[in-house]
Structure formats: structure tokens, C-alpha cells
Structure 1
Amino acid sequence: MSISKFILGTVAAVALSTPVSAQSLKVVVGKAEGGPEFFALENFAKRLEDTADVKTRVFPMSLLSLAEIPPGISDGIADVGYVITPYYAAEFAEVNMVAETAMLATAGTRSDYPGAAMAGAIMDYVVNCAECTAMYAAQNHVYLGSSATADYALLCTTPIRSSDDIAGRKVRAGAGNYSRWAEAFGATPVSIPGNEMYEALSQRVVDCTMASPAELTAGGLFDVVKSVTTGVPGGVYAGLNTVNMNSGTWQGLSTEQKTAVLRAAAEAQADFVWKSAKDAADNLAAAPGKGIEVIAAPQEMLDRTSAYVSGDLETIASGYTGTYGLADAAAKLEKVVALVEKWKGLTSGLAEDRDALAALYWDEIFSKLDPATYPSSVASN
């Protein structure tokens, strides 16, 4: 079933019937300028204009909202868009299951570049997963890469220095794995949209939010957060498709243009990951000067978190099997675990080298896709 909630009107019909070379590609972000989403997609659009002989127009917070982008791409209202897949849990179940393992990036052998490692692992998995590409095709989307945030911390109104300190607290959680982590530590998870974190903290609806420290600026949380505990819950937010393209738009491109799109997509993922990590690091460095205490989580919290992450894989597999009917969920997650470890190694030492990360994504993922046959060729792999 399509996620589309729109009626395909005259404007969309014209867009779908017009040759790509004769129109501007509509690139929809759904987020404000200044964040990693806009940074990545604006650069993506510029690269296409320079290398693919197509015009582009980028819409930050107009044309479509975040929730409207997936059906907007389906209907051709947008050609390219930033898609948060958990907004459509059933339609994107295959990739959402993988994204829910994102705490693997900092559990066990801790990655020194968690967002880069998790994004690489997810892309490596999805472009070789026939069920995944079929899922996108059913929505009239072509998948062109995933990104991930910087690693999550506890952004709180009171200090969290130990497991005892978080027990009994109300903690905003943006995904099921983080809700379960909070419960494992005796906290109460509260489901609140990301754009309501400021109000929830300022009005003491929650004591903490689990988020990247990049939100101190992106979400204005410098004004309400009094302490940041790093290292926990760890993980990243990974249900982020930076570049999804309408299938008709993709098929309207020449093979040379598709190659340019794949190169620009590899660059876009690196842009997002690098920008998110840089913003988080800059904010943590600035926090003490703004009266915010930065606390490193003690080893006992790190050890408990790693144990939780290992055990949660079974919960994820059984949940997606029972709720969405995914086949072979446990076996699929075994592949993901191996890929995360692979990408921890591949991305080690690249935290300040955006160009090297883009080259890595190209060499290991995008260069291996045949622009003439992708994504249909994945089904025959």
C-alpha cells in the first residue's frame, strides 16, 4: 500500500511527464537552514547543477513538511527529499528495524565516529537488500543513502552522574530502543516530538532528553539544559534517508546523470554526518562557558548500556516479526551487527576529515551500484 495521502493533481502530473533536463528538480528538506539536513541537501543540489546538467530548487521548510515529504516524493510533488523513515513505521519497516539497532555504534567496541559508522553500515545493508529496495519501490521512491546524527547524550535539567541518578526520572525518548533503555535504568520514557524538547524541558514535563548535543543549538536547548552526561545512552539516530528520489525522476535521468547523482549522494551523506558531529563537538566545548556541566558517564553505566544493547537485539527482531511480519529478522540483524563492526573499523580516525569520509562512502557503497540498472538489479544479487 502506498504511503501517499495526496491526490496526484495537475502540477505533479506535469512534473512527472516533463523531461528531467527541461525542469528544475525540487529538493525538499523540511528543516531550517543551518542544520545538517539543509547543509547536505543544499550541497547535493549544487553538485547536481555542476555535474549533471540539471537545474535544482531547494525548499528548506516550505512546499512540504517533514511528515509530508514521503508521500510528496511518491506523488512527484518533490523529486528529492529528506525522509525520516520512522514517521512511516509499517511502510519502511525493513529499514526501520535496521535503524533501531543504532545503539550498536557505541556499544561494545566504541566507535570514535558513531554517526559515520552507523550510516555506512545501514547503507551497506540496504543497497544489498532486495526486500529493502522493493519496499522503496512500492512507495515510488529510489533509495540513495542514509545518514546518522552524532552520538546521543543525556541533556538534563539536573545532573546525572550515575545509574541511581537517572532512576525515577522522566526522560524524553525518540525511538523504541531508547524508551527501552530508559526503562532498563528505572526511568520513565516519555514520547515527545523532537521539536517539542525545549518546551518539555522548560516546563519540567521531562527531566532529560536523549539527543545529540547538536540540539543545544539546533533546538535552542542551551537555554534550558543545565547538565549533559556523555557516553549514555550512546548510539545515534539513524532512521534518516538524506536523499530519496522519486522513481519517475530517477528513470528520467540519463546513465551519466544517474552516476552524477550517486556521486553527489555519497557526498551528501558525508556532509550530514560531518556537520552533525561538528555541531555536537562545538556545543560540548561551549557548554561550560554557558553554565552547563558536562559529565562523562561512569563505567558502570557504560557497561550496563552495552549489556542492554546486546539483549535488545532479540526484542527488536521479535517485535518486527510480530508487528510487521518481517521474515528472517534475527538473521538480518546478525548481518547488521557484522556490518556495524566492519564500519567502526573503516571510519576510525576520520572524524575531522569530511572528504575522506565521502571518498569512503563512494568507494565502498555508491561506486558499486550500476547506475543503468539500480535499484532493480539488487533483487538479482
Structure 2
Amino acid sequence: MKAKWMAATALAFALALGASGSASATTLKAVHYLSPKHPVGLGYETFAEEVKKNTNGEVTVRIFPAESLLGAKAISDGIRDQVADVGFATMSYTPSYYPYGVMLNDLAMVGENDMAAAMAITELFNLHCQPCLAEYTKQNQLFGSGMSTAPYVLIAKGDINSLEKIKGKKLRAGGALWDRFAKSVGATGVNVPSSEMYETLSRGIIDAAVYAVGGLKTHGLADTAGQVVLLNLGSFRSGNLYSINLDTWSKMTTPQRAGILKAIPVAVVKTVNEYHAGDKAALELAKEKKVPVVQPDPGLLAARKDFVEKDLPGIVEAAKKKGIENAQEFVDKYKELLAKYEKLIGPIENDPKKLSDMFYNEVYAKLDPATFGVKK
């Protein structure tokens, strides 16, 4: 009788453990608005793999790409309201929510290393800018990581590689920053969606597109371009690549949150490297199509540097008018962190494991998964 009782007790205990284990298991709904083959999509696949591995399968990630669950402009609200648990929130789509995030868009030409930019933004927001985190807390979200696309360059119909040649040209600009740059070199910024770049460039409505080299392949620009000028015109950085719902985050166990914090830097490095791979493939296509790819004229390089220096004070003043009182401190710290990460990345830039380990140690290892972002 005693043996039977002990066996029954052991079985009940085992079943209780199993129930407890399944109760702590969770599946995260992850959303982004791009193709699964896009760098962001490939980064999300890596994120899902890393989360599953780091949590011993307790947390899995189901990815809803290409606006299959939420449209691009609805993602921030959707994460806030727990329609999704994690997603790529583009801050410029909801500018009233994220004044600091919108300011990043104006700082897109500060620093030329996109990997450094993604890392610097992540550290800036999570370790040095409480008002930045407060913007996300107000939206019931955690700031998981910064991001950066590949650098924008000039993809032109004809030769525009000098200050004389670019003057009077119409440049496709993806925002106010590039409008201001165009004006500074005597050109005109034209607001054209990326989906219309091919048509407008081929028809002569614009003379050049300010866009990543990858556009030669992804948007068919290699079939109409006559020149690519590798003038680094910054990159899009106004995004939270892994924005996480705070209710979802708070209900997870500390080890599960730790596993996610370890997964994010691996996924961010993967995303940035996939942007690089896309540019490399596009340059091969340019070679095949005999599209000249040239280094920028010294005059254009000098004009870019001069523009960034003269544009910064206006960015700071505009931010202050929008209520960002520490705008100058934000810019100064950002520049400091960009320089820091450019130095750290240099010796290991071709080693994804070392990059993600460094990124984790510099930022995520300093966040306590028991308390960071956890609702009280």
C-alpha cells in the first residue's frame, strides 16, 4: 500500500512539473512588414531560432511577415495592444509617439558605419536616455534594439559626380534631411516613394535616387541607371527592430527574458550583414549591366561633411521646440557612441559571432532581465 501511495505521489509530482513547464511555455507573435527574404525578414528568422535555443524551447516565435497580421503603420499600435508580442516598429510612421525616434531620422547622416549606428542607438536608448525609454513605456513597449539600413548613395541616370554636375538636378529624397542636402548642393529634392523610383528615373522625372545600392537589384534600377556614386548619404535608422509588448515581457520568467536579450544582438548583426550582402549582389549586377560605379568627387565629399556640420544646430533647435530639452546632450552622446562602436567593430567586422558577443556585452549584459522593463 505504501509503495502504491509513493508511486502515485511521484506520478502526481511529475504531472505537476509537466503542467508547470507547459504553463510557462509561450509562443510570441512577431510581425514585420517586409518579405521573409528581406534583411529584416532574415533577421527575424535568426531571432526565432536564437530565442528557441536560448530558452530550451520554452519560448517560440511565430513570424507574420509582409503585413500578414498588421500593416506597417499599424505595427506600433498593434504591439501596444498585444495584437502582436514583438515587431519591427518604424518610429517615423507614428511620429507623435516617438519624438526621439524621429530625431534619429534627422541624424541619419551623422556617422557612416551602419553596424555602428545600430549598436550606438541601442546603447543610447537603453543605457543613457530615460526619456527615450519613457516614450516606449507610454506605448506599452520595450525598446529591444536600434537598426540601420545599408548606406544610401546616388543612383543616377547620367553623370552627376561633381558639384557642378549635380547642381540643378532632381534627387529622389526619402525625407526632410535629404531634401535639405539636395538644396545645399544646388539640387532639388523630390518626394518619390521607393516603389516609384524605377519609373521616375527611367522617364527623367528625377535625375537620381538617394537610395541603397541594393535598389539596383530590388527595384530594377540597374536597367535604367547610368551611374552609381558611392557618396555615403546616411541610412534609415528610425526603427525599433525588436519592439516587445510590456505585458508579454513581464509575464515571462527571468531566464526567458534573459534568453531573448541574448537573441536580439545576434539577430541585429544578421540583419545588418544581410543588408551588406544585398549591396554586394547589387554591385555584381551593376558590373554585369555595365553601370559605372564610382567613388565620389572630392568636392561632393567636402559638401557632405560641410552639410552635416551646418545642419546639426538646426536639428537640435527643432527638437527643442518639440519638447526634447536634452537634444544637444542626445546628439553629443550619440556621436560619442558612434565613435566607440566604429573602433570596436573595426578589428572584428567580418566575424558575426564576435560582433554579436561584443554587442551583447556592451549593452544587453548590463540590463537585468529580472527587472528591466518588467511591470511592477
1:271 matched to 2:270? The reply is yes
What SS class does the counterpart of residue 67 from structure 1 fall into?
Answer: helix
Tell me: CA distance 1:22–1:363, structure 2 relative to 1, closer, same or farther (3 Å): closer
1:10 aligns to what? none
2:142 aligns to what? 142
Q: Deviations over 1:101-147 (max 9, x none)?
A: 121213xxxxxxx1111111111111121001100011111111011
Tell me: CA distance 1:246–1:195, structure 2 relative to 1, closer, same or farther (3 Å): farther
1:370 aligns to what? 368
What SS class does the counterpart of residue 26 from structure 1 fall into?
Answer: strand
Q: Deviations over 1:128-173 (max 9, x none)?
A: 2100110001111111101112222101222222111111111111
Identical-pair percentage: 30
1:152 aligns to what? 152
2:261 aligns to what? 262
Q: Deviations over 1:162-219 (max 9, x none)?
A: 1111111111111322221111011111222333323332343322111111222233
Tell me: CA distance 1:218–1:289, structure 2 relative to 1, closer, same or farther (3 Å): same
Q: How do 1:172-211 and structure 2 match up within 5 A?
A: 172-211=172-211
CA distance in 2, matches of 1:30, 1:225: 27
Tell me: CA distance 1:310–1:375, structure 2 relative to 1, closer, same or farther (3 Å): farther
Q: Which amino acid aligns with 2:110?
A: L
1:43 aligns to what? 46
CA distance in 2, matches of 1:335, 1:344: 14
Give the gaps of 5 or more residues in structure 2: 1-21
Of residues 86, 104, 109, the one that matches 2:110 is 104
Q: Which amino acid aligns with 1:139?
A: Q
RMSD, aligned CA? 1.9
CA contact (8 A) 2:246 2:374 kept: no
What SS class does the counterpart of residue 172 from structure 1 fall into?
Answer: strand
Instruction: Select the structure of larger CA radius of gyration.
Output: 2
What SS class does the counterpart of residue 269 from structure 2 fall into?
Answer: helix
1:63 aligns to what? 69
CA distance in 2, matches of 1:190, 1:238: 21
Tell me: CA distance 1:220–1:241, structure 2 relative to 1, closer, same or farther (3 Å): farther
CA distance in 1, matches of 2:267, 2:222: 28
- Higher RCO (Cα < 8 Å, 6 or more apart): 1
CA contact (8 A) 1:20 1:54 kept: no
Give the gaps of 5 or more residues in structure 1: 1-18, 107-113
How many residues were matched structurally?
A: 350
CA distance in 1, matches of 2:30, 2:220: 26
| TM value normalised by structure 2 | 0.88
Q: Which amino acid aligns with 2:146?
A: S
1:230 matched to 2:238? The reply is no
**How far did residue 286 of structure 1 move?**
3.0
Tell me: CA distance 1:156–1:21, structure 2 relative to 1, closer, same or farther (3 Å): farther
1:3 aligns to what? none
The answer to which of 253-262 and 160-169 deviates more is 160-169
Q: Which amino acid aligns with 1:54?
A: V
| TM value normalised by structure 1 | 0.87
Tell me: CA distance 1:160–1:351, structure 2 relative to 1, closer, same or farther (3 Å): farther
Tell me: CA distance 1:20–1:335, structure 2 relative to 1, closer, same or farther (3 Å): farther
**How far did residue 372 of structure 1 move?**
1.2
CA contact (8 A) 2:101 2:239 kept: no
1:214 aligns to what? 214
CA contact (8 A) 1:20 1:253 kept: no
